[in-house]
Amino acid sequence: MTLCRQALPKVPVPPLKQTLDTYLRSVQHLIPEEQFKKTKAIVEKFGAPGGVGEALQKKLLERRDKTSNWVYDYWLEDMYLNNRLALPVNSSPVMVFPKQNFRDHKDALRFASRLVRGVLDYKALIDARALPLDFARGQLAGTPLCMEQYYRLFTSYRYPGLKSDTLKVKMDSTSSGPEHIIVACKNQFFVLDVVANGKQLIETEILSQLEKIWKMGENAEERLPPLGILTSDGRTEWAQAREALSKDQTNRDSLALMENCLCLLCLDEASGLEPRDTTRALLMLHGSGREKNGANRWYDKSMQFVVGMDGICGVVCEHSPFEGIVLVQCSEYVMKHITGVSSKMATASSVRELPPPRRLLWKCNPHILGLIAASEDRLQRLVNNLDMDVFTFKGYGKEFIKKQKMSPDAFIQVALQLAFYKCNRRLVSTYESASIRRFQEGRVDNIRSATPEALAFVKSMTDERANFTDSEIIKRLRDAINAQTNYTISAITGMGIDNHLLGLLRTARELNMERPAIFCDDTYLTSNQFILSTSQVPTTVEMFCCYGPVVPNGYGACYNPQSNYIIFCVASFWENTQTSSAVFVKALNEGLLEMRDLCNVDNTPGTKAAGTSQGAGPARKSGK
Ligand code: COA
């Protein structure tokens, strides 16, 4: 039992009528009128007294009483474990560190040994349950937050399955024998024991072990096939390959060492690419395929720290055990450790003579080599497909928005809606992660940001601009921001609709009922296709988070609001002709500037309806 389980309330089950009303309201303006009429009839029947909805709700309330978090397993399976897509780009978010300047590989290894030491210190805090308790900031600030996600950082492993994956978490990490990390170097994997004779390795000892690994990696004759690439494949494909691998005892032993490590350290080859923000983000997201560092990974493991010889560094994270906010806390701690410790290294005499790290051995037959080649091809397709644009908007940041007495997060969400509308002349189902860590074992629910008020605002900024005065548009902006803020408050207090609807659907399945009509309806299906998938991941140390789109025709948009600027990471797929990250970013920039102009007009006493400085027309698609 942890503090969190004892002290925090359970995630509530929202009232059925409230969820159904919100659902209808969140889809009405996004679908044709005829379709909405049909959906409304289906939803009303579902929610009628004595109807299916009431029966399912009753069961869900019982489940709430019996479990510590009624939605946890449903959500985990639906969001991650049942998803068959490859983890890189489609699921695993990354943190991108500032570009480091390494003189040579020794310098890079020195940085890496500090990083490992920082990770071990952080893990010691977790094991001692000594991390300071998190408290909510922003909306409804001050309540304590569940800390469980931290305990999964170094103890989790996502096993691929033929139909569904399994997330295994070692509950007591301190009692599971000697601790090791796995070092990936030149697509080979090495076991680095971090404890010797009952004492953890100090930084210089880690460095001397890394130097040995580096040398072993250089030995081309001993190199084994690039097994790591298999973990970058679709989950079913990887599960099949893992079954084939597991037939051999040597492979089973290597898999067990991999699956029980604390984390990976990936020593990447220099990429030969210009280290712009976008390039660094791409390299973290997919390693740039087999030709570069795509096989120097093991995607099932929750935390992979990447140190590139060209100074391109960051963290790749398997998302199912925790959210980006926890990843940020850990990454910031490690980065502060690296930049904070004295640059003077310990003297050589303090280094113990340690046995060399061991290479993980693999036995590969022609069948497995064929699977590796197929995984390489599929990763390459993903690499070629990802259209990424990391954009730092420098016009203003959180402080300007706060001065307008508006929520920065809501303002940015409305700006994302405006950008999408400028590009597509419509709004679409949008996902914004809302933390529900106020509750026991809380993860996230969804803020459906494409509100009717947002649609009214973006129309008045574009198609219907001529019909409105500035003050009318400002009113629409405030309405959109209020609607967004209210939805946020509702979601973070456990009143979101996505988890609830999922719970009702899963309850019906558990009762072996026919799938209720509400969940077969096209509206439900399309409303769960999140063409715009967004998330705020703020940092206090220089770094940024990014991830890919969640549907082929969508955008992933991660943002990091700072006092005077905002970093946006916009991702889409080149193969889709409807999307373009560059076009989206252009529209976002225009929209943010127009929204500033609007606020400035509002702030100027007596000013009316002046034109905006940027005067953006519809953003044109180009470059595909
Ligand atoms: N006037 C002035 N200031 C305001 C304001 C207003 N009307 N509304 C909010 N603010 C201030 C807040 O007080 C806060 O101040 P602080 O920076 O001093 O703390 C700041 O603006 C930010 O608040 P806001 O922009 O409203 O957002 P938030 O911090 O409450 O965040 C969510 C909203 C939805 C992003 C947050 O609740 C959440 O769930 N975060 C987790 C997301 C997540 O899980 N991401 C990772 C997914 S992998």
Q: CA-CA distances (angstroms) from residue 366 to 295, 363, 370, 379?
A: 18, 10, 6, 20
pLDDT for position 608 = 42
Q: Which two tokens stand for residue 614?
A: 């940027």
Over the stretch 63-95, which tens digit does the pLDDT of each residue have? 999 999 999 999 999 999 999 999 999 999 999
Distance between CA atoms of 305 and 127, rounded to whole angstroms? 20
pTM given for the model: 0.95
> What would the mean pLDDT of 391-418 be, rounded to a whole number?
98
Per-residue pLDDT tens for 285-308? 999 999 999 999 999 999 999 999
Ligand 1 closest atom vs CA 407: 8
Active site residues: 319
488 C-alpha to ligand 1 centroid (Å): 9
Would the pLDDT of 613 be above 70? no
The verdict on the CB of residue 187 being under 6 Å from ligand 1 is: no
* pLDDT single digits (tens) 451-464: 999 999 999 999 99
The whole-angstrom separation of Cα 280 and Cα 97 is 9
The rounded mean pLDDT for the chain is 93
Q: Lay out the sheet containing 313-317: strands in order across.
A: 358-359, 188-193, 180-185, 264-268, 303-308, 313-317, 94-96, 544-546
- Region 243-271: mean pLDDT is 97
Candidate of 153, 439, 536, 569 to mutate for ligand 1, largest count of ligand atoms within 8 Å of Cβ: 536
The residue-averaged pLDDT of 556-569 equals 98
Q: What is the rounded average pLDDT of the residues 177-184?
A: 89
| Cβ of 496 less than 6 Å from ligand 1 | no
What digits encode the pLDDT tens for the residues 348-390? 457 788 999 999 999 999 999 999 999 999 999 999 999 999 9
Pairing of strands 188-193, 180-185: antiparallel
Cβ(227) – ligand 1 distance below 6 Å: no
406 lines ligand 1 (CB under 6 A): yes
Contact indicator for 299, 88 with CB cutoff of 8 Å:
yes
Distance CA 141, CA 189 (A): 44
Least confident of 208-212, 221-225, 603-607: 603-607
Residue 615 has pLDDT above 50, yes or no: no
Pairing state between β 555-561 and 544-546: unpaired
Query: CA–CA separation, 8 vs 4, rounded Å?
Result: 6
**Atom 10, ligand 1: residue with shortest CA distance:** 407
Q: If we measure between CA atoms, which residue out of 351, 346, 315 comes closest to residue 116?
A: 315
Q: Is the CB of 533 under 6 A from ligand 1?
A: no
Q: d(Cα 159, Cα 300) in Å, to the nearest integer?
A: 7
Q: How far is the CA of 140 from the centre of ligand 1 (A)?
A: 9
Tell me what pLDDT residue 171 has: 75
Average pLDDT of the residues in 540-564? 98
* Structure tokens, 365: 């037959």
Q: Which residues pair with 388 in a beta bridge?
A: 571
* Ligand 1 mean position, distance from CA 522 (Å): 33
Per-residue pLDDT tens digits for 387-397: 999 999 999 99
Q: CB-based contacts of 119: which residues, under 8 Å, 6+ apart?
A: 154, 181, 262, 263, 303, 305, 330, 334
